[in-house]
Amino acid sequence: MAVIRITEQNFDKEVLNSKEPVLLDFWAPWCAPCRMVAPTIDEIAEEVKGVAKVGKVNIDEEALLASRFRIMSIPTLMVIKDGRVSAQAVGVRPKKDILKMLNE
């Protein structure tokens, strides 16, 4: 499954009501570190097919979601399981650390 574009309109369906854990990447097009981690996020999305979902939230377009989760710095990576945040990290992270967040 490819990375899902998360918006206010699909957030409940794709994230809160998901049976699988969801890795969210809060990012913006102008953010260099966000662009650095993007290929890793894409790889993870392919690797976790059927086990987890991966979504991206563009904070410029989805300011309400960014505010709701108190995003102060980007990239912020967040794992949501059963409707609750189970792990969170700010900044570029190695792939193994991001995968570990999904398994916590």
Whether 55 contacts 23, CB under 8 Å = yes
Residues noted as catalytic: 31, 34
Report the chain's C-alpha Rg in angstroms.
Answer: 12
Task: Please state the separation of Cα 77 from the chain's center in Å.
Answer: 5
